[in-house]
Structure 1
Amino acid sequence: MAAKGIAAYLVTGFSLAVLSAYYFASRYSLGRGAEEEPSLLSVFESNPSYRSEAKFWPELKFNWRVALATVIGFVGSACGTVGGVGGGGIFVPMLTLIVGFDSKSAAAISKCMIMGAAASSVWYNLRVPHPCREVPILDYDLALLFQPMLMLGITLGVALSVIFPYWLITVLIITLFMGTSSRSFLRAIEMWKEETKLKKAAEERQQNGKADGELLIDAEYEPLVPKGRKT
């Protein structure tokens, strides 16, 4: 019964993603071809009140901005890959504030930059074992379960990125980054406090063992219950 429910969920999610992509693509083509029935996209593009700025692609030549962006991109990709966030929160502000791209172009370029980091991370994690079970650390079932809704959300996001004005995209990016950054910062403080307590407890146990004349050896403990295998 559970397998049937998961299969129905996957089929429904993929169907919604494909249908939404087809719908937005057809609406875009109709808005471009038919002048008597303008689409929502053409209305937003024709109304100057919804366009706060034009697309700007700076002249890419070697200068201090490109050098600084290269260094920030290297550090951001390294830290983002370690933290599992990909570095998008660093690439978009870097491309807009330092290099000089507009917000829409910066978001598109940052996705291309994140794709390389994601591919290398997946290739590395294919050989990393699970810490508690005799399986790989990548859970393919969980990834497959998330993909339909992810594809649906990406389809809607790409369509809205074309419709929304630049100022609204900038506000959404700032709001998202502030929320994720503050939550990650608070979570990091909690983890630091927990690790500090564990470290102090380990030091106290080691000192008590030395005072009693006991020899403490860091031995590897085997679980009493055998490790299960993933089917």
Structure 2
Amino acid sequence: MSMRALALRSALAGAALLTLAGGAVVAQAALTKVPAEVQAGTYALDSGHGKITWSVDHLGFSTYYGQFVNVKAELKLDPANPANSSLTATIPLTDVNPADDGLKRHLQTADFFDTANHPTATFVSRSVTVDADDANEATVVGDLTLRGVTKPVTIEVEFNQAGPSMGGVYKAGFDGEATIKRSDFGINYALPAVGDEVKLHLEGEFVKQ
């Protein structure tokens, strides 16, 4: 075989290897919106991209919004058997961001969170049930402890997507909705003028550990 033919064969082989390697990289880097394709394992919440937005009726005039930030959470995912998955979270009640500094101080008092005695709230899941008609939606039932009182809470969760994020870290993203009654946890200040029902919108990007 001539040198030219050998060189051509080597070039073609190299191109084939690069194509295969490139395909592998693309496959590894692909995002997925299919829950069954998510990598199993333990995930930690990226606190910079995880928060809880709360809203409550304010005297019938408006809906008031605020947020909890610096939330810490651990998610254990088992896509093959979602019922084995679990979620635990710790919410620092001092890291609440309403739109008013005076209200932020008031929320720390015994009228509301009583953070001197109860600086955090916690959530521990007890069950995860995937929607029979939509695998991207699930119901998570667990125990919320707030001001030393523990009550069951149901979170309706929607899976957004999973895959490599900026920096190459593998993430899984979710949104969630829940409603609680603050009076269930002994927060009775200004009832019923300020609403009892508090709606929670949860957003989280979880990083695979």
What interval of TM-score do these two structures reach, taking the shorter chain for normalisation? under 0.3
| TM-score normalised according to structure 1 size | 0.22
| TM-score normalised according to structure 2 size | 0.23
Structure with bigger helix share is 1
Structure with bigger strand share is 2
Q: Which of structures 1 and 2 has the bigger CA Rg? A: 1
